[in-house]
Structure 1
Amino acid sequence: MSDSNTPSPTTVDPEAVRKLPKVVLHDHLDGGLRPQTIIDIAAETGYDKLPTTDAAELEKWFFDAANSGDLPTYLTTFDHTTAVMQTHEALVRVTREAVEDLAADGVCYAELRYAPEQHLAQGLTLQQVVEATVQGVKEGEKSVADRGGRIHARLLLCAMRHADRAAEIAQLLIDNYGEHTPGEGYVDGFDIAGAEDGFPASNHVKAFDLLRQNLVPVTVHAGEAAGVESIADGLRQGAVRIGHGVRIYEDMEATMSGIELGKIARFVRDRRIPLEMCPTSNTQTGVCDTVEEHPFNLLYEMGFTCTVNTDNRLVSGCTMTSEMLRLAECFDLEYWQLLELTTNALETAFCDQPLRESLEREVIYPAYAELGDALDLDSEDVEADAASHAAGLSALHGEHAGHAHGVGSEEVELSMENLKAELEELGLSLDDSDDGDDADGAEGADGAEDK
């Protein structure tokens, strides 16, 4: 029998979560700088517009400034970070430190994204910007490896949706895509970012056509500041992942028989289009007021492919550990569900399949199996062989092997009371009137898009 002091599989321990391997798909390079690095580079380059040169005060300033409740104001915080990322040396340092910091948080695979066009103020070319970040990733991976750790990082190039350089950035990505290019296999995908509302992805059709022709994977920011149509627009341009995407719930309609998905929501769920959710950031940009009100739980329980991400570690004052712990606290997640969110991310990462399999087999599954074995003292010792991890993983899964996301699992049924509570938090409600039967065949609704 287990000792009374041994945590149960339903208890999520902060230190255990910190040590568990994690995968982040949505992390902005210019949103995760160390405060002291900003101060150092500003002093070296003569940038004198920082609100303070005290590292602790600067960190607090970024977090406070980001809590504006709307995306355009949130984005103004990046004026300072991009200002100190204008030289080769600065880009190498910032990228190297990002890789080191993520590894220290237990991240074993990271996709860092940035917009090359925002780093040209002091004479760098677009190609030089890419090469500096590639060097930074390589130095970061080596630094972690030298200390006995392991992390693999990749770079996504962003085009700014309010600008007109998307086709140029797409070509830059193509020129650096693959091992036998200056990108050396580290430049792995395309994103379109910046002010979303009023700047649809379809404004940049030429760029997306070019990427499709060259078989380059694409994610887009959508469903954050704009609603469901923004998500659909990104999908039409070839996006295989959605950055944020949380406003997909607006394409749902509550009826007395349950929740009816609209055409777009059903496509995203059934095609397993990953949602790159960033809970803390979403509260800062006005998607919801608190993490407790975040649509994560509704979407997760309804079978959407959810992933957990940081977005901007400095600006949002978060880490992958803190984001996972916050979700676990708010929605009673257990270790096996954190594993599911982690494998969701890895399976939809833009890296090659051998690396995904290696990380699963050698890093992720062994760590969770070891944890599961520690939580269930009746299970046999976990060997370093993938097949023998079953006992530890089973201990994590406990009685929840029938979760809707598993193969052959039973369908999750929400009680009417819980269903109503979920919907009320999102501004939706069940129709208790006599004409509620008419909604059974509805395809969906646009919901609160204009709120």
Structure 2
Amino acid sequence: MHLSDIIRAPKVVLHDHLDGGLRPATIIELARECGYDALPTTDPAALAVWFRDAADSGSLERYLETFAHTCAVMQTRQALERVAAECAEDLAADGVVYAEVRYAPEQHQERGLTLDEVVDAVNAGFREGERRADGRITVRALLTGMRHTDRSLEIAELTVAHRDRGVAGFDIAGGEIGNPPARHLPAFRHLKQHNCHFTIHAGEAAGAESIHEAVQVCGAERIGHGVRITEDITVHDDGTATLGRLAAYVRDNRIALEVCPTSNLQTGAAKDYATHPLDLLRRLGFRVTLNTDNRLVSGTTMSEEFRHVAEAFGYGLAEFEELTLSAAKATFLSLPERQRLIEDVIVPGYAALRAEAGDPRVA
């Protein structure tokens, strides 16, 4: 399929970082406005290349260093509203119909904003972006606690306070090595006590033990990345596979994996698209979802991620719809909202594309 055709396919993204998806020109303009003079270049095209090249290190830690520049220009209400609105616009232009976009409120307080003010500004931006996109997209926020700080409980409380005002759930992110998710158990307990959704980054830089801790100790409903679950899977010479207890639990309990292929290649979690574990996990029945992670830093879009897996595994509309439905079922929306998203948007959208392509499965 051509990229232009892929763009038209309805998509759902569950793992997209707000501070990793800014427009290069916006970064430059905001840096000029706030007096930030540490950008490596003020040419938008060159800046986009710089971010991608800087992240192509094979190290999660080096990958995360690039965010110092984006966070530096996201410290006022006006900047946060602009970035969030443009995020919604850009996703909608790429055919995304529903997105859960995550960010860490604690990283946007350098100029005096309170946590509540940060959340209100981002939510206002998302609503403006939805309006500009003529309602073609719905965006919800995931509030992220950072693994290396001690503010996760505070962010969990913030999540509960704003969950009926545009916030869908909670996330924990940052360097995995040396920062196990169980360190933040008070935050996860608070979320559970208030029946609030959360996902956990795990199984990217750290191995299957990180996923086990996120699921069995912390109670994660979804796993950010999770590709190293393959460490608990044995693939035999005849192509069959044996799942270990953890892998079987994750699969059987429909714990969604928020897979981000291009990002995985950049951080060393996968070697290349052709050998990325996404296809194996999908064929084994895991609830696999396809995601961008960081559109600027990874130089990608949802449509580009679909194109990569199409080229690597021969995927077409059927697999695209399967991945999209898996993501829709794993959203932190209410059941009626998920049903409307699936029945009124995704299924009709793919049916129209199949009819246009002359697919015989179309009634």
Q: Who is 1:170 aligned against?
A: 156
After superposing the two structures, state which structure 1 stretch, 158-167 or 367-376, moved more.
367-376
* Aligned-pair CA distance for 1:68: 0.5
Point out 4+ residue stretches in structure 1 off by more than 3 angstroms.
Answer: 254-258
| 1:256 to 1:336, Cα distance in 2 relative to 1, 3 A | closer
| RMSD over aligned Cα atoms | 1.3
* Unaligned residue ranges in structure 1 (runs of 5+): 1-11, 179-183, 380-390, 395-451
Say whether 1:373 aligns with 2:355: yes
Give yes or no for the alignment of 1:252 onto 2:233: yes
Aligned mate of 1:66, from 32, 36, 55: 55
Partner of 1:197: 177
1:331 Cα shift?
Answer: 0.5
Length, aligned pairs only: 361
Aligned residue for 1:207? 187
Equivalent residue of 1:158, what SS? Answer: strand
**Is 1:103 the counterpart of 2:83 in the alignment?**
no
2: CA distance, partners of 1:274 / 1:114: 20
Q: Secondary structure at the match of 2:15?
A: strand
Deviation at 1:13, TM superposition (A): 3.3
Bigger mean CA offset, 53-62 vs 354-363: 354-363
Give the TM-score taking structure 1 as reference length.
Answer: 0.78
String of CA shifts for 1:385-423, please: whole Å, max 9, x gaps.
xxxxxx52x7xxxxxxxxxxxxxxxxxxxxxxxxxxxxx
Q: Note the alpha carbon deviations across 1:106-157, whole angstroms, 9 max, x for none.
A: 0000000000010011111111100101101111111111xxx510000000
Q: Distance in 1 between matches of 2:345 and 2:190?
A: 36
1:225 aligned residue (184, 205, 211): 205
Q: Map of 1:339-358 to 2, 5 A cutoff?
A: 339-358=321-340
Find the aligned partners of 1:256 and 1:301 in 2 and give their Cα distance: 16
In structure 2, C-alpha distance between the alignment counterparts of 1:285 and 1:308, rounded to whole Å: 17
Q: CA deviation at 1:375?
A: 2.3
Match 1:334 to one of 297, 316, 322? 316
1:353: how far off? 2.2
CA distance in 2: counterparts of 1:229 and 1:218, whole angstroms? 19
* Whole-angstrom distance in 1 between the partners of 2:25 and 2:356: 39
Match of 1:272 among 239, 254, 270: 254
Identity %: 53
> What TM-score do the two structures reach when normalised by structure 2?
0.97
2:134 counterpart of 1:152: no
Q: Which moved more, 1:96-105 or 1:195-204?
A: 195-204
Residues of 2 paired with 1:175 and 1:210: CA distance? 12
In structure 2, distance between residues paired with 1:171 and 1:97: 27
Which one has the largest radius of gyration?
A: 1
| Unpaired stretches in structure 2, ≥5 consecutive residues | none
Query: Helix, strand or coil: the match of 1:131?
Result: helix
Paired letter, 1:106: G
1:275: Cα distance to partner? 0.5
Shift of 1:256: 6.2
Residue type of the partner of 1:271?
N
CA distance in 2, matches of 1:13, 1:362: 25
